Amino acid sequence: MEIVAEFSPGKVHDVVVRPLAKYLDERGWLAELYRCDELAAETMPVMAYISMTQPGVARGPHEHREQTDYFCFIGPANFKVYLWDTRRDSPSFGVRQTIFAGVDQPLALIVPPGVIHAYRNVGRENGIVFNGPNRLYAGEGKSSPVDEIRHEEVEGSPFRLD
């Protein structure tokens, strides 16, 4: 990873933002998360997990060497998502992007390897995040090292959440 002292605001190359349509009726709502006829084969999820994050709490910053994440923010809270591009060969090298997503703006975000990412629950209730990564966590049978670089405990880190 290339160290960048100051990031400039902008759009991170290769990060895909997909609005998620909620189909409302008397019973509640339903939303498709992904379909193999819409996603590129190389980013198709091979597993899925959900996490709950409490109000005010953040997860990350993390990055992956090979894994692409497919995050879905559907609620019941809203999240502020942070992205930093430290890929030397990227057209958006040195760019920092923030995105609000969740109950008021349901989104899927495709985050490629090497893009550092974090999110904070900025709502007042617990928030659910779905992820469908294109790699197995800890590999086949959970027998490999986890593909994750964690930046949250790094002193003086430029990856700060406001």
* Residues found near ligand T46 in the complex (CB under 6 A): 49, 51, 59-60, 62, 69, 117-119, 131, 137
Kindly state the smallest distance separating residue 33's Cβ from ligand T46, in Å: 16
Kindly state the smallest distance separating residue 59's Cβ from ligand T46, in Å: 4
Judging by beta carbons within 10 Å of its beta carbon (0-12, 13-18, 19+), is residue 18 exposed, middle or buried? middle
4/58 with CB nearer ligand T46 = 58
β-pair type (95-102, 107-111): unpaired
Minimal CB distance residue for ligand T46: 137
Kindly state the smallest distance separating residue 110's Cβ from ligand T46, in Å: 13
Kindly state the smallest distance separating residue 149's Cβ from ligand T46, in Å: 10
The string of DSSP codes covering 50-119 is: EEEE-TT-EEEEEE-SSPPEEEEEEESSEEEEEEEE--TTSTTTTEEEEEEEETTB-EEEEE-TTEEEEE
40/47 with CB nearer ligand T46 = 47
Residue 73: closest CA among 128, 24, 120: 128
Q: What is the DSSP letter of 121?
A: E
28/145 with CB nearer ligand T46 = 145
29/148 with CB nearer ligand T46 = 148
29/100 with CB nearer ligand T46 = 100
Kindly state the smallest distance separating residue 67's Cβ from ligand T46, in Å: 8
Residue 57 CB neighbour total at 10 angstroms: 12
